């Protein structure tokens, strides 16, 4: 089983790797270096327009790319600190769970393409919609990411807990997992904040329980969420509360 998640804009800039696990080099490191070298050529005004950032975020981003080649690298799973990643309780994992995590989880990235949890990455800011190559990065990454993720074992399911930003460029069959809230009018809607937290807890649930079959995922029942058979189908598993 492969589990896909999106990166987060929130990152830890003082990562201390206390986990005894071998790190690795991203499979698309050359592509990442090409993008970073392209971005570092922009002046601050151009970078501000392309990334739609300013003030302290612009200053930090400009500095990161200017010194990108000489900056430190950190394990991806420890670097991202958004709502999804905060719920992955990696500090509680034993060696077996860490191996499961590294073998099964993949983080999609506009700079690095596809990352294993313990791939070494540098601090960066980049979204798929940013036109650093004159257009968005979908054309640059689409074929590369799809080739990397399509498994040789067609029986192995691919679960996406990622965002629409990345899901929309996947050409293969995958099963999306969604979390919805019941409204006063008995309809269901997705709350961005709650959904991100639930996606992180789902990753943690899958890893902790060493899940390899879809049916086992449907037993998830944390924070009041339960499998909603009516809203689900073969390619979409919905949990509601």
Whether residue 209 is contained in a domain is answered as yes
Nearest-5° angle of CA 9, CA 14, CA 18? 110
Helix/strand/coil percentages in the chain, nearest 5: 40, 15, 45
Residue 177's φ and ψ, nearest 5 degrees, are -120, 125
Whether residue 16 is contained in a domain is answered as no
Residue 3 belongs to what H/E stretch? strand 2-5
The 10 Å Cβ neighbour count of residue 205 is 18
Q: H/E/C letters for each residue in 105-157?
A: EEEEECCCEEECCCEEECCCCCCCCCCCCCCCCHHHHHHHHHHHHCCCCCCCC
What pLDDT sits at residue 156? 80
Q: Domain range spanning residue 161?
A: 2-10+23-240
Q: What sign for the dihedral angle of Cα 68, 70, 71, 72?
A: positive
What pLDDT sits at residue 26? 98
Whether residue 229 is contained in a domain is answered as yes
Q: What is the dihedral of CA 18, 23, 27, 33, to 10 degrees?
A: 70
Whether residue 206 is contained in a domain is answered as yes
What pLDDT sits at residue 144? 96
Whether residue 51 is contained in a domain is answered as yes
Domain count along the chain: 1
Whether residue 17 is contained in a domain is answered as no
Whether residue 18 is contained in a domain is answered as no
Q: For the chain, what is the total number of helices (H) and then of strands (E)?
A: 10, 10
What pLDDT sits at residue 15? 67
Averages of pLDDT over each 10 residues, the chain, 241 residues: 93 70 95 98 97 96 95 92 95 94 97 97 95 95 94 75 93 95 92 95 97 94 96 96 95
The number of residues in the chain equals: 241
Whether residue 216 is contained in a domain is answered as yes
């Amino acid at each position: 089983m492969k589990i896909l998640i999106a990166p987060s804009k929130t990152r830890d800039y003082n990562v201390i790797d206390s986990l005894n696990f071998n790190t690795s080099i991203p499979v698309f490191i050359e592509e990442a270096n090409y993008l970073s070298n392209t971005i570092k050529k922009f002046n601050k005004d151009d970078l501000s327009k392309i990334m739609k950032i300013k003030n302290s975020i612009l200053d930090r981003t400009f500095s990161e790319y200017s010194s990108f080649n000489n900056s430190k690298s950190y394990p991806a799973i420890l670097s991202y600190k958004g709502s999804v990643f905060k719920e992955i309780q990696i500090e509680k994992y034993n060696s077996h769970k860490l191996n499961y995590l590294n073998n099964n989880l993949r983080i999609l990235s506009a700079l690095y393409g596809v990352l294993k949890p313990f791939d070494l990455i540098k601090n960066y800011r980049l979204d798929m919609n940013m036109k650093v190559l004159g257009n968005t990065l979908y054309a640059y990454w689409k074929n590369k990411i799809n080739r990397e993720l399509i498994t040789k074992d067609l029986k192995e399911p691919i679960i996406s807990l990622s965002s629409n930003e990345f899901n929309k460029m996947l050409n293969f069959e995958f099963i999306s997992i969604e979390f919805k809230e019941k409204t006063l009018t008995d309809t269901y809607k997705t709350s961005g904040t709650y959904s991100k937290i639930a996606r992180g807890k789902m990753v943690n649930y899958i890893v902790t329980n060493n899940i390899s079959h879809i049916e086992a995922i449907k037993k998830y029942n944390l924070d009041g969420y339960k499998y909603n058979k009516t809203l689900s189908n073969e390619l979409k598993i919905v949990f509601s509360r």
